[in-house]
Amino acid sequence: MKKNKPKHTSSGQQQGSGKRKRISNVAPSASGHGHGYGHGHGGGFRKHRHKGKQKINLYEAKIYKGALSSADEDRLAENTVNKIALQILIEFDNNQTRADILLRNYIRQNHKLLTGREKGNLSRTVMNVLKWRMRLDYYASKVLKADVTRFDPLMRNAYRLATLNATVLSKSLDKCIALSDAAMPKEHGNFKQPLREFLKTLVKAKSEIPLPSRQKDIIHALAIIFSHPAWLIERWIERYGPENTEKLCEFNNEENVFTIRVNTLKSDELSLMSQLKDQGFSIKKSRYGSFGFYVSGLGEIYSTNSFKNGFFEIQDEASQLFVEWCNPKNRDLVLDVCAGSGGKTIFLSALMNNTGKVIATDTNAGVMEDLAERIRQAGCSNVEILHPDVAMDQLKEKFISQADKVIIDAPCSGLGTLSKNPDIKWRLLPEDIGRLAEEQKSILEFNSQFVAQGGELIYATCTINPEENEQVVEAFLSAHSDFEMIKEHDPKYNFFIDERGYFYILPFKHNMSGFFGCKLKRVN
């Protein structure tokens, strides 16, 4: 079969920022001009006569004006999700902006067209393309007999989205074509036919496209099969071996299990479970976190009164476990110096029963914008926020050798969170690791001065890179005889403590996001 190759144009780079239009409720005329009236030659209205009874549609459209039924509305919603997903993927390729930020921005721009369900579907669609991107490119390139990664951003992402629907999601050919047609911008309508021909070939041939052989080149094979950069695969094989590397990649590509944490300052486990079950959510107790639950329907859960009233927080189970392991006591003075958006800050406050003081700050003012509102909503009365502009001076002025615990959840590569943030695979470069490690050493060094005699300096990351974890700690200890590593921990955390005394959560072992922690005690 002769392949119809698309003409590639750089104009696709401009597709990431357009506003969505609401679908009109005015039906197009038979002439195709989109007007409800026929134009007579004399300038008046042409009178239409209908034989028989006219069928009246009584369906009241909820979101998409002009929808004739709930099934029609579902179809329009799915088309809209694919259209917005394509725009996000194009912008990601052009600017390398974090996928979660892009999703938040596009959902805000299109909030009138997206219900909670559609927001969830949009997020899943974008994240699935990013999870499977390398394998999607492999399939598309085999069918097209051309390197799809060399196409312009519009076309390569149109092929990725089409390939996802046809292979990973196993949608029917008709559905794939309909979604592909709907996603393509009007000004690039000439690309629709090549995409249709591509999909026809792919659906027929997908079971016959061989994946690379592990025996020939295991690094290349695993990179394509599990859609991870080859440099990352090589590092993991060297560190964990081929079998654990495969398990790690499989975990990263699985559908996310979202966890929430009951806010004990405002609610309790039984009450929260009852409330959410009554509202139709599937919820069950988390395996390890003392206050956590696994929940379905995350997109809709943000609109519940339970969330708006601060009865629970969205927090990853590994992060919950880390905060519990920190074991803050009532009346402690705790510095949370890389507080970010405040998930750990709020949990620390709850574990301390609103006693003592939690000082929260971060060098990134942007991520702290909503922290004050989150703290108020959660009912935390023992949290003080230091704005980044004044934090360094105020910390030095008030807290030298004062804190019972200084907690540093340092900026890192995030390689423990690829199941939730697959875009990291394509944004991170090998040389970034060394730069991050130097920044982490600097943060640890600066904040160590605030630890009181006998207090704890707790260092953490959400990566599984030794260069950013134990090697940072070892470098610090070699220069600081006044600190020593705490190697004995509460036995209930033994499953997460390695033979050296580090708190280490590994996805292929613990079946949750990767996390690292280390406690250092000030002894002199």
- In tens, the pLDDT along 501-518 reads 999 999 999 999 999 999
Q: What are the C-alpha distances in Å from 389 to residues 113, 359, 444, 487? A: 39, 15, 19, 36
Residue pair 382/473 in contact by the 8 Å Cβ criterion = no
Query: What stretches of 227-342 show up as alpha helix (H) in DSSP?
Result: 230-240, 242-253, 269-278, 298-301, 305-308, 317-326
The pLDDT of residue 419 is above 90: yes
- In tens, the pLDDT along 349-367 reads 999 999 999 999 998 877 7
The pLDDT of residue 154 is above 50: yes
Radius of gyration of the chain (CA): 27
The sign one gets for the Cα dihedral 98, 104, 110, 113 is: positive
CA atoms within 13 A on the CB side of 465: 27
Task: Identify the pLDDT of residue 390.
Answer: 81
Kind of pairing between the strands at 483-485 and 383-385: unpaired
Q: What are the C-alpha distances in Å from 296 to residues 81, 264, 387? A: 20, 21, 35
Encoded tokens for 13:
């780079």
The pLDDT of residue 307 is above 50: yes
In which band, very low, low, confident or very high, does the pLDDT at 48 lie, cut at 50, 70 and 90? Answer: very low
| Mean predicted confidence (pLDDT) in 431-435 | 97
- CB under 8 Å to 318, separation ≥6 — which residues? 416, 462, 505, 510, 512, 513, 514, 515
The sign one gets for the Cα dihedral 130, 154, 111, 177 is: negative
Cβ atoms < 10 Å from Cβ of 461: 26
Report all structural domains of the chain as residue ranges with CATH numbers, in order of start.
Answer: 10-22+62-208 (1.10.940.10), 218-253 (no CATH), 258-314 (3.30.70.1170), 320-420+427-522 (3.40.50.150)
Selection from 316, 369, 363 nearest residue 336 by Cα = 363
DSSP at 233:
H
The pLDDT of residue 95 is above 70: yes
In which band, very low, low, confident or very high, does the pLDDT at 6 lie, cut at 50, 70 and 90? Answer: very low
Residue pair 35/45 in contact by the 8 Å Cβ criterion = no
CA dihedral 298, 300, 305, 311 (to 10 degrees): 0
Query: What stretches of 110-241 show up as alpha helix (H) in DSSP?
Result: 116-131, 133-144, 153-163, 173-183, 192-205, 218-226, 230-240
- In tens, the pLDDT along 396-411 reads 899 999 999 999 999 9
Averaged confidence pLDDT in the chain: 89
The pLDDT of residue 479 is above 70: yes
Overall residue count recorded for the chain in this entry: 524
Residues linked to residue 517 through DSSP beta bridges, in sequence order: 460, 503
The pLDDT of residue 43 is above 50: no
Task: Identify the pLDDT of residue 411.
Answer: 96
| Mean predicted confidence (pLDDT) in 259-286 | 95
In which band, very low, low, confident or very high, does the pLDDT at 54 lie, cut at 50, 70 and 90? Answer: low
